[in-house]
């Protein structure tokens, strides 16, 4: 067992206890000795103790020897500490250790890997093919134009080994492509390519596919080894459609999946996040990791209810993973074209980033397809190139900055080149460019898909609990009232019927000429107006030692003391940060400048305090709330305000990118007409008004994360729509300083400023990194992006930091670094961080230092949001956090349309059941187009039936049942019996055919309907209108069969059921659907009356069931 870790506090407590024990023991021993001496003396002995046998008190040998009582007390104390360490569940570590460890950490290079030979891969028989060499060359050209490539660490490319490929792909797959290497027979290669969906094969394809995969693995190796901070692989052919044994969608080997598996196997990583924002679903990557909880696969793709390629049901939102991987697969299906920046940002903020924070990945790999970019003829979306850095930026501080971006698709050369280059620019640490166009709001189609995705995952992720829920009974009650309840809808349209041969020529379908011209003109305007020039100075720094003069003459131990800024300054020096920043010359704010936020009488009253004696100052201060005054208070307060104005000048004039203001006295409590709460003048409010007056700004964002509500700032701007004030603070239902109702969530501003005041009140102490991160991503950042500020001012109080004596919260220094990084994506990076409160000098020093390092581009440790806390039940603080955020969202959604969908309530419980991944089996088997017994390659077919190399059918067209064994298809495991079967009366089952096309009896839907086995009522499934589920609950008829795939679902058991007793109901539906009787597939003999025992497979419960099978496959004709 490792020795116990002793903190200063525990050591001090042990010392106090030891002394107390020693004192107690000495007192007892002394009393005993005195009593004994008295008895002896009373017996006639000498009172002076001068007998020859006595021990002299002056004996030097005994004077320094500890008494037995002291030794015993120390022994007990040691045993007590030992016992305490034995029951410790977690090691006690330094709360600032992460900040200490990154003291010498500076930004590592961004890696870039590519190979010029990748331009050789092309389609020899279709010169207009979208997947052309120019995709590769144009990206490199734009990166060089912007001088990005020369700023990177260029890695040598390498080919993947066969062993690396076989980690995921079959040997037959590998050899099939290898056999094409160097073959110049175009006719033969075109014929082979036609057997696969969207594939062409070039003589160099095999070597270049190995090179693309090997380069991706090489990039990942460098990131994990710490040789680079992040990196980008500009490669082709792409990879995310490539499956275990099949080429597909321009892809041969799955570059990203193979690199992830390499990281799992070789580097023993346990948590990898794959983000795929290519407009086509990466079904290959999904299938490789569908059962693996070590990999979260998150895909955003055009779906249009299956009518968009690759036309797979597994691309819908209900595919959440299976087995141990259940809940780790995310699909956000886009069911309309024209999705914009607002839609993609909403996906990241409301779903991806909260999940990423909770998952705590050790590595992030981005499958970066740019076919959702404006102008791409395949995606037909409208994401602007400058938006891609905004999507990437919040990820760059996760996974200890180990982020690998790997090129996938993108077929508009202009938007592809610009989007990829700006992505690399973001990896290099440059601020996100401002979005030129007004941010469009999320579309209704996105709202539906995003909420459905959250609904099916919310039981698996604590971070997805913000939406309130409803049950089926409430849905029934509220149906007529048309309340704002989100209903899960699934509509399957699908694609064209499967074919034996795929087209190889003229596959490019260009956009209409007028649309091409509009897109080209718009892209040119965006490129011209997107400002990419940057100041050479990253951070300017405002500080003046004169601000130390302001102090409390009556209480030297007052929390707001000069050592606060002194310690911050000293730590910046120790971390080597001062030399890397531009030191701003101090100046005092003028009276006119201070009066931008304060009344002139207030300024004059503070000025008149100069030179007053301490007693008079004390009397004046007593008239204010929590304020002390000093003869130099006016000088220090104007210096603090002037220091912030200096930083604003430097940033807005383009001399510096960001600003750090280490100032005091703080300011955010100061009202227009009086000081308040340690604050004299409101530094940040003055700076905001100054930016509006002198620089003509129209939109300034103030984010106040001080643990106390910034009442002064709120009151100054509550009617001003040019300033958006957002405050996160401890509130305690109005009982926490500054007390009163002004800090509650329902205070949103007045008059023209209504909606521009956002309060996020914490009603419990103990809020930490997780709670602050959730508030930022699901509330603050969406509002901030919609507001589109021109300047961001941070009232950076650090009294919510762990260890603060007043705040009682637990935000870590690295947590503040993360929040700073997220805010730096706004306003083109123009952000000024200004010190407010914070009263543990260690906490504030580390916290401000992490903010500064973040703005300097240094790596800051990722806050451990999910590693320990999320393995325990939710804390009271977290539950209170969720309640506060829900209240805030409900109020603010009426003012900010980016939050409009957040207030929708979701269905309670596990929403994935009757239409989970099991449907993929039925959907795939419907494409088999075979009869029950004569199906080639069906279960029981010879293993040697596989066609020769190059002749195997693609799984996308006519998959084989054998694919089940290769994890390329999915099987459903129904219950073999069900207690609710006893409700059925097979002898009363309909003898004539049941209409397989009957509409829902309530809403008339024909999309996905079920037939009640209790009364034959037809109702739609829960992903349409949910009327069958409602009928089941009302009528107590739990069993229903699907018109689509003839499966039977029990609502009471929440499972599929397969039993002979169901045949009497299924057969009439089968006759209507396929014009022939349903085959008997059960092991027991068929009975005319249909009344089988309720045991598994129609046997009695006590029969031997050892030979029964647990897997039911139903094969259907293709209809």
Instruction: Give the contacts of 16 (CB within 8 A, at least 6 positions apart).
Output: none
Sheet containing 1039-1042: order of strands: 1018-1020, 1009-1012, 1039-1042, 1048-1050, 1055-1056
CA distance 898 to 914: 32
Q: How far apart are CA 1048 and CA 948, in angstroms?
A: 39
Whether the CA torsion 277, 281, 285, 290 is positive or negative: it is positive
Q: Which of 493, 388, 381, 383 is nearest to 430 (CA)?
A: 388
The position carrying tokens 């052309």 is 132
In Å, what is the CA distance from 661 to each residue of 168, 586, 838, 862?
52, 11, 14, 24
DSSP state of 865: S
Q: What are phi and psi of 301, to 5 degrees?
A: -150, 155
Residue length, the chain? 1119
Q: What is the DSSP string of 398-447?
A: SGGG-EEEEE-----HHHHHHHHHHHHHHHTTPPPPPPSSPPPPPPHHHH
* Element of type H or E holding 541: strand 537-542
300 bridge partner residues: 332
CB atoms within 10 A of CB 808: 18
Query: On the CB side of 950, how many CA atoms lie within 13 Å of its CA?
Result: 11
The yes-or-no answer on residue 241 being catalytic is: yes
CA–CA separation, 784 vs 732, rounded Å? 26
d(Cα 186, Cα 192) in Å, to the nearest integer?
Answer: 10
Q: Which residues pair with 1010 in a beta bridge?
A: 1019, 1042
CA distance 1119 to 1117: 6
- Identify each DSSP E strand in 559-642 by its residue range: 582-583
Question: What is the pairing mode between strands 757-762 and 723-730?
Answer: parallel
Answer for the pair 879, 751: CB distance below 8 angstroms, yes or no.
no
Match 């019996």 to its residue by tokens: 977
User: What is the spatial distance between Cα 442 and Cα 449, in angstroms, rounded to a whole number?
Assistant: 11
As given in the structure block, the two tokens for residue 1084 are 């027991």
CA distance 257 to 460: 23
Residue 645, SS3 per DSSP:
helix
Distance, in Å, from the CA atom of 828 to the CA atom of 422, rounded to the nearest integer, reads 13
Please provide the DSSP assignment of 266-280 as one string: TS--S-EEEEE-SSS
Rg (CA), the chain: 35
Kindly tell me the sign of the dihedral angle through the C-alpha atoms of 477, 482, 488, 493.
Answer: positive
Instruction: Give dist(CA 170, CA 148) in Å, integer.
Output: 38
Cβ proximity of 446 and 433 under 8 Å: no
Q: Decide if 669 is catalytic.
A: yes
353 burial type by CB count under 10 A (0-12 exposed, 13-18 middle, 19+ buried): buried
Q: Residue 966 carries which DSSP code?
A: G
Cβ-based neighbours of 947, under 8 Å, separated by 6 or more: 953
* Annotated active-site residue in 240, 311, 669, 878: 669
The two beta strands, 469-470 and 906-907, are: parallel
Residue of 169, 173, 241, 630 marked active site = 241
Sign of the CA dihedral 952, 955, 960, 964?
positive
Q: What b/e readout covers 402-433, taking b as 16+ CB neighbours within 10 angstroms?
A: bbbbbbbbbbbbbbbbbbbbbbbbbbbbbbbb
Q: Which residues carry out catalysis?
A: 241, 669
């Amino acid at each position: 067992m490792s020795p116990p870790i002793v903190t200063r506090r525990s050591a001090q407590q042990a010392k106090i206890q030891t002394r107390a024990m020693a004192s107690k023991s000495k007192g007892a021993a002394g009393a005993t000795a005195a009593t004994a001496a008295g008895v002896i003396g009373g017996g006639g002995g000498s009172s002076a103790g001068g007998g020859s046998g006595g021990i002299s008190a002056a004996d030097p040998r005994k004077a320094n020897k500890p008494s037995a009582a002291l030794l015993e007390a120390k022994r007990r104390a040691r045993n007590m500490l030992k016992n305490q360490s034995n029951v410790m569940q977690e090691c006690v570590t330094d709360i600032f250790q992460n900040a200490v460890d990154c003291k010498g950490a500076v930004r590592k290079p961004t890696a870039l890997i590519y190979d010029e030979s990748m331009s050789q891969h092309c389609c020899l028989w279709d010169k207009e093919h979208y997947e052309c060499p120019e995709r590769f060359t144009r990206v490199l050209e734009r990166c060089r134009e912007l001088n990005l490539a020369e700023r990177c660490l260029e890695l040598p490319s390498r080919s993947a080994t066969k062993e690396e490929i076989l980690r995921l792909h079959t040997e037959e797959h590998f050899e099939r492509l290898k056999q094409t290497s160097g073959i110049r027979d175009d006719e033969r290669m075109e014929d082979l390519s036609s057997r696969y969906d969207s594939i062409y094969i070039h003589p160099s394809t095999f070597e270049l596919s190995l090179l693309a995969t090997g380069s991706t693995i090489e990039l990942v190796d460098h990131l994990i080894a710490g040789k680079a901070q992040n990196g980008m692989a500009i490669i082709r052919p792409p990879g995310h459609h490539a499956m275990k044994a099949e080429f597909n969608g321009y892809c041969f080997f799955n570059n990203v999946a193979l690199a992830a598996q390499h990281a799992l196997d070789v580097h023993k990583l346990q948590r990898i996040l794959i983000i795929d924002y290519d407009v086509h679903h990466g079904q290959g990557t999904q299938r490789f990791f569908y059962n693996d909880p070590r990999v979260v696969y998150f895909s955003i793709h055009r779906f249009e209810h299956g009518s968009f390629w690759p036309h797979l049901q597994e691309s819908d939102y209900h595919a959440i993973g299976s087995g141990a991987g259940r809940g780790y697969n995310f699909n956000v299906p886009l069911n309309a074209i024209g999705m914009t920046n607002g839609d993609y940002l909403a996906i990241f903020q409301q779903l991806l980033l909260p999940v990423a924070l909770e998952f705590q990945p050790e590595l992030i790999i981005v499958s970066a397809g740019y076919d959702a970019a404006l102008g791409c003829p395949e995606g037909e979306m409208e994401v602007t190139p400058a938006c891609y850095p905004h999507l990437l930026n919040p990820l760059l501080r996760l996974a200890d900055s180990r982020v690998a971006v790997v090129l996938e698709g993108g077929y508009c050369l202009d938007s592809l080149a610009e989007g990829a280059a700006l992505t690399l620019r973001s990896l290099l640490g440059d601020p996100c460019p401002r979005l030129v166009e007004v941010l469009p709001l999320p579309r209704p189609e996105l709202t539906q898909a995003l909420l459905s995705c959250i609904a099916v995952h919310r039981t698996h992720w604590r971070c997805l609990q913000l939406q309130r829920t409803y049950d089926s009974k409430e849905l029934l009650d509220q149906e007529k009232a048309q309340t704002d309840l989100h209903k899960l809808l699934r509509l399957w349209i699908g694609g064209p019927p499967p074919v034996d041969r795929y087209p190889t020529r003229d596959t490019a379908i260009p956009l209409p000429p007028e649309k091409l011209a509009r897109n080209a003109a718009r892209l040119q305007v965006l490129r011209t107006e997107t400002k990419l020039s940057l100041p050479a100075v990253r951070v300017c720094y405002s500080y003046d030692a004169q601000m130390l003069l302001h102090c409390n003459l009556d209480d030297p131990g007052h929390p707001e003391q000069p050592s606060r800024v002194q310690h911050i300054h000293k730590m910046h020096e120790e971390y080597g940060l001062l030399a890397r920043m531009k030191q701003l010359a101090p100046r005092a704010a003028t009276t006119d400048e201070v009066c931008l936020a304060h009344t002139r009488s207030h300024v004059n009253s503070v000025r008149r305090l100069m030179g007053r004696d301490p007693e008079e100052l004390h009397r004046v201060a007593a008239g204010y709330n929590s304020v002390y005054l000093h003869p130099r208070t006016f000088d220090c307060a104007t210096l603090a305000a002037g220091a912030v104005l200096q930083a604003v000048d430097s940033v807005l004039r383009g001399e510096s990118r960001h600003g750090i203001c280490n100032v005091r006295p703080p300011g955010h409590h100061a009202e227009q007409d009086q000081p308040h709460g340690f604050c004299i003048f409101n530094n940040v409010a003055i700076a905001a008004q100054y930016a509006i007056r002198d620089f003509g700004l129209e939109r300034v964002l103030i984010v106040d994360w001080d643990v106390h509500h910034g009442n002064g700032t709120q009151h100054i701007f509550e009617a001003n729509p040019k300033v958006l004030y957002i405050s996160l603070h401890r509130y305690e239902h109005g009982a926490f300083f500054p007390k009163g109702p002004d800090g509650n969530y329902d205070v949103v501003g007045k008059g023209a400023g209504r909606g521009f005041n956002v309060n996020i009140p914490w009603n419990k102490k103990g809020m930490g990194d997780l709670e602050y991160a959730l508030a930022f991503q699901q509330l603050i950042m969406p509002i901030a992006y919609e507001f589109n500020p021109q300047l961001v001012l941070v009232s950076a109080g650090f009294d919510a930091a762990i260890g603060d004596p007043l705040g009682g919260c637990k935000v870590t220094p690295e947590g503040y670094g993360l929040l700073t990084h997220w805010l730096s994506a706004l306003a083109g990076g123009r952000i000024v961080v200004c010190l407010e409160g914070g009263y543990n000098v260690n906490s504030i020093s580390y916290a401000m230092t992490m903010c500064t390092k973040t703005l300097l581009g240094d790596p800051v440790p990722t806050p451990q949001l999910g590693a320990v806390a999320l393995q325990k039940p939710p804390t009271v603080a977290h539950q209170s956090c969720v309640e506060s955020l829900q209240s805030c969202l409900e109020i603010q959604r009426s003012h900010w349309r980016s939050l409009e969908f957040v207030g929708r309530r979701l269905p309670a419980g596990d929403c994935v059941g009757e239409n989970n991944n099991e449907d993929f089996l039925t959907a795939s088997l419907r494409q088999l187009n075979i009869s029950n017994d004569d199906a080639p390659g069906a279960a029981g077919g010879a293993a040697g039936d596989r066609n020769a190399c190059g002749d195997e059918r693609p799984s996308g067209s006519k998959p084989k049942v054998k694919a089940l064994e290769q994890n390329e298809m999915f099987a459903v495991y129904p219950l073999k019996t069900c207690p609710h079967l006893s409700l059925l009366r097979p002898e009363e089952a309909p003898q004539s055919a049941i209409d397989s096309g009957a509409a829902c009896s309530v809403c008339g839907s024909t999309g996905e309907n079920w037939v009640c086995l209790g009364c034959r009522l037809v109702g739609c499934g829960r992903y349409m209108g949910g009327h069958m589920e409602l009928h089941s609950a009302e009528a107590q008829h739990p069993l229903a069969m699907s018109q689509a795939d003839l499966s039977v679902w029990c609502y009471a058991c929440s499972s599929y059921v397969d039993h002979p007793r169901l045949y009497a109901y299924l057969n009439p539906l089968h006759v209507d659907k396929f014009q022939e009787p349903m085959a008997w597939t059960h092991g027991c003999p068929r009975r005319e009356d249909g009344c089988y025992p309720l045991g598994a497979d129609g046997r009695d419960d006590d029969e031997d069931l050892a030979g029964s099978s647990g897997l039911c496959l139903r094969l259907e004709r293709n209809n």
